[in-house]
A = this chain, B = another copy of it.
Amino acid sequence: MSGDEPITSAANDRIKRLVRLRNRRERDRTGLFVVEGYRELLRAAGAGVEVIEVYSCPELFLGKNDAELLERLRSRGAGVVPVAPGPFRKASYRDRPEGLIGVARAFDVSLGRLDPPASPLLLVVESIEKPGNLGTMLRTAQAAGADAVIVCDPATDPFNPNVVRASLGTLFDTPLAVASTPDTLAWLAGRGIATVAASPAAVLPHHQADLSGAVALVVGSEQYGLTAAWLEGADHRVVIPMPGSVDSLNAAVSAGILLFEAARQRSPREG
């Protein structure tokens, strides 16, 4: 696989550098982040993300496509660093490492990067309680055919390892922007995209709103809901009617219900 001798100690400088990328400060300082796992690296490669290094432990490979992916990444300029199972497990963020950890260059997540098609379906998330939730929402948005996800919480780091992991690598496929609420409102208005904000205090059930055109579904935090800026600034407010006695849903589940209602309305046989 490689002529190099594998790294056999977790005290090795490269392994320590890799582990440090779990910290946001280190990611911000270096402009790099970690992409662990076969599926995730495959999506990164498919989306043209620049993978600089791949730490590889063939003893842990699960399938026979891993070596092929490794060659593909190497041919695009990634350095391949063989690692023995012991130190690899130390460097891994997972309970069951799959033998592949990439280091990739963080990409642009500014609003200007987004270029949605006509009549797009967008998801706007006002704040993120847990990075894993953002990852699940990215995966759900991608499955529902959403054209982009905008996070209106400038503190969010989409390159957190838990985002990459929970998104199953869809972070690389779903156009994503991190922007302020005023910038996002202006950007959406400028493109004639209607904003539909989810609120427990709204009257219109989400399934009675028209979600078939150019629309951005806006969800707030699980704990506090949307801020006044969104509730007042949105074109429409909808409620997910809850017949049961609980009046809140997990944020990613709420986003999924709204996105798939939009997908239902946009499907050829409905409308």
In the complex, per-residue mask of A178-211: 1 if CB is within 8 Å of any chain B CB, else 0: 0000000000000000000000000001011000
Contacting residues of chain A (140-186) with chain B, CB-CB under 8 angstroms: 140-146, 168, 170, 173
Q: How many copies altogether?
A: 2
* A/B interface sample: 11 pairs, CB < 8 A: A145-B242, A145-B244, A173-B245, A205-B269, A241-B263, A241-B267, A254-B256, A256-B256, A257-B257, A260-B261, A261-B264
| Residue among B205, B252, B257, B270 making CB contact with A267, cutoff 8 Å | B205
| Residue among B144, B247, B248, B256 making CB contact with A243, cutoff 8 Å | B144
- A246 proximal to B (CB < 8 A): yes
A256–B139 alpha-carbon span in the complex (Å) = 15
Question: Are A139 and B249 in contact, with the CB atoms below 8 A?
Answer: yes
Question: Are B243 and A266 in contact, with the CB atoms below 8 A?
Answer: yes
- A136 proximal to B (CB < 8 A): yes
CB distance from A232 to the nearest CB of B (A): 26
How many residues from A make CB contacts under 8 Å with B? Answer: 39
A140–B252 alpha-carbon span in the complex (Å) = 11
In the complex, per-residue mask of A121-151: 1 if CB is within 8 Å of any chain B CB, else 0: 0000000000000001001111111100000
For residue A267, which residues in chain B have a CB less than 8 angstroms away from its CB? 205, 241, 243
- A101 proximal to B (CB < 8 A): no
Contacting residues of chain A (212-271) with chain B, CB-CB under 8 angstroms: 240-250, 252-254, 256-257, 260-261, 263-264, 266-267, 269-270
